[in-house]
Structure 1
Amino acid sequence: MFPLSSSHLQQIFNKLDKNGDGRVSIDELMWLLERTCIDTCRADELELLMGKTSLDFIDFLFFYDMIINVDRNKLEENQDSLIENDLHKAFEVFDSNGDGLISSEELQNALSRFGLWDEHCSSLDCKTIINSYDRNSDGFLDFEEFKDMMLFAKS
């Protein structure tokens, strides 16, 4: 959902305000939310949330801003969830023995399979990479350490 200008919002408000009293009722808001496919609550819950039975234009602007921010937060949460899911799948590729840890050998094998490692590189280099992200100094990368490595490499 993209932000609308205040003139567009004024036009929407005026169309919703059927009786021209300068206020939009909860029912009119519900009608708008249903038509724009925004998941929302029941009318009584919306009234409780808003603390009013109708909104003037300023209240309508605040309501719109709240809806836009909730929608942005959901989008960010969905993106974070997708990234996390992708990282879990990648971790499983690197963790070839399935023990929940990536050793320097597993790292080297995975990088070799991807064509990112050749015989001129040594396993010492993989140990150095692991040590760079190994926060608990156990010589392995757990998922959180792997995630840090992948997100750092991405930026």
Structure 2
Amino acid sequence: MTATVPIAKKRRLGEGSKYSRSEILNLKDLFDSHDLDNDGRVTASELMTALKGGPLRQGALSTFRSVDINKNCVLTFNEYLRRIYPYANDREYKVMLAWVKRTPPEEQPEPLFEPTAQQLREIAKMFDRFDSNGDGVIQIQELVATAAALGYDELEVEELFRVTDKDMDGTISFTEFIDLMKMSYI
């Protein structure tokens, strides 16, 4: 007798996007709760006021700086989307922006960092530092060991590894590492 395994229904996501419309709308609500003057932008002062003395307040400024892609000390919803969904393409961003009525869909997403030839050489040197066994890819153990030596939290580094390993082959290729640098360049 053979047991049949029920096939899970695929969850249909929003019009032309692999991301959930409800998640985007919840993110917009979160953004709006930080945008105290309702101008479509969140300043560091607004964020700190919105968080009051809560548990998230301690790391809020560090997070604010990492989300502020263009480093103008003001966060837009576009920047929220770019950081939370770094692998979405421009069409998907346009769809996600259209879901939130107050953000005009024609608003262009914040540009990602594009490294120069010199910066690519520097990124290659960083990659080589993480690739301690020299096999041309970074395994999770290599990333954790090197990042831990630099003072990073092991669990956060493991999560970063999972997000960066786009093809889910258990390694970070040089191309994936460049994409990580483009997304996180400060």
TM superposition score category, shorter chain reference: 0.3 to 0.5
TM-score by length of structure 1 reads 0.42
Instruction: Considering fraction of residues, name the structure with more helix.
Output: 1
TM-score by length of structure 2 reads 0.36
